[in-house]
Amino acid sequence: MSMMEPRQITKSSTVSEVLQRHPGTSQVFLEKRTLCLGCYMARFCSLRDVANVYSLDTETFVHEMQQAAINKTFQNFKEEDSNWDKSHPIR
């Protein structure tokens, strides 16, 4: 599975694409009180569809998804980096 860059999350991206590549975005779906997590239509619905169904501003919603993906990616990087520091003989 290839990694989708956060900036590649667009209004045309499907819910399942985004969730598979950036699981941290699930928080945005929860915060917006969508029913997307676990929905059988997730592989067909785009972020634009979700925004329309839940009366969300599409651009803002996509931006929030991108930010959640970036934050989670950065957090993972920091965790990996801190683990490296702990095990590295030279500090």
Percent of the chain with pLDDT over 70: 70
Q: Provide the pLDDT confidence category of residue 88 given band limits of 50, 70 and 90.
A: very low
What is the dotted CATH code of the domain comprising 6-81?
1.10.3910.10
The domain limits of the chain are 6-81
pLDDT at residue 6 in the model: 66
pLDDT at residue 17 in the model: 95
Q: Could you report the per-residue pLDDT of 31-65, keeping only the tens digit for each?
A: 999 999 999 999 999 999 999 999 999 999 999 99
Which 8-state DSSP code applies to residue 13? S
Integer Cα distance of 48 and 35 in angstroms: 15
Model pTM?
A: 0.74
Given a cut of 80, whether residue 82 has pLDDT beyond it is no
